[in-house]
A and B are shown apart, each in its own frame.
Chain A
Amino acid sequence: QKEVEQNSGPLSVPEGAIASLNCTYSDRGSQSFFWYRQYSGKSPELIMFIYSNGDKEDGRFTAQLNKASQYVSLLIRDSQPSDSATYLCAVDPGSARQLTFGSGTQLTVLP
């Protein structure tokens, strides 16, 4: 079982809709959770991080964490074509001092 799992997609949503990206992790000791956005041919850039159970909002982005279910998600409201990218979930497993990344979910926002 992979330590961090994401649906690879592709996920397509129409412009203006809510895009929902999901991630599960295996290590219950995980402390910190990150969402990165990666445009094709570019490097990953950090867009959200969350440490505590519940929701964290930043503009059109909301990260949701449920440690009991070992589940973290990213919601993108009012999706724009510029949001089309691969979204990587990363987890600090707690047992190590490096992040473990999921394989990413490719999102396409259709105009």
Chain B
Amino acid sequence: DAEITQSPRHKITETGRQVTLACHQTWNHNNMFWYRQDLGHGLRLIHYSYGVQDTNKGEVSDGYSVSRSNTEDLPLTLESAASSQTSVYFCASSPGLDYGYTFGSGTRLTVV
């Protein structure tokens, strides 16, 4: 069965370190998205991609980057982790907006 997987499920890192969160989907969806979810803010868009070599900034992109070298993967990198980036991160993919998104299981990141 097709799926979307995120790793790691939990991560604790120190302030200033570079961290990469993985997202891998086997749906063959062109569209992939990264969101963060915080109490009181709901899901906020970080970066998104509509295909290989295409990346775009979302609402809260400062301090984050992504790259898309193939259809299956969209890794999210925190260049220099900050305590404000402690959050739950969700990756999602979609064949087109009319179909909504399928979400991964999430990564809980704690920056200490």
Interface size on B, residues (CB 8 A): 22
Contact segment of B14-22, B62-70, B72-80, B103-111: B103-111
Separation in Å of the B45 CB from the closest CB of chain A? 6
Name the CB-closest residue of A to B96: A97
Question: Chain B nearest CB: distance from A105 CB in Å?
Answer: 11
Contact check: which of A36, A92, A103 meets B41 at CB < 8 Å?
A: A103
Q: How far is the CB of B11 from chain A (nearest CB, A)?
A: 16
Contacts of B50 in A (CB 8 A): 97
Q: Which of A43-51, A64-72, A73-81 contacts B (4 or more CB under 8 A)?
A: A43-51
Number of chain A residues whose Cβ lies closer than 8 Å to a Cβ of chain B? 22
Listed residue (A31, A90, A92, A99) with the most chain B CB atoms within 10 angstroms of its CB: A99
Q: How far is the CB of B32 from chain A (nearest CB, A)?
A: 11
Indicate with 1 or 0, residue by residue over A86-111, a CB within 8 angstroms of chain B CB atoms.
00101010000111111110000000
Q: Are A98 and B90 in contact (CB under 8 A)?
A: no
Chain B residues near A (Cβ < 8 Å): 31, 33, 35, 40-43, 45, 48, 50, 58, 90, 97-106
Q: Beyond the given A32-B97, A49-B98, A99-B100, could you list 12 further A-B residue pairs with CB under 8 A, ordered by the A residue number?
A: A36-B100, A43-B104, A44-B90, A44-B101, A46-B100, A88-B43, A92-B97, A97-B50, A98-B97, A101-B35, A103-B40, A103-B42
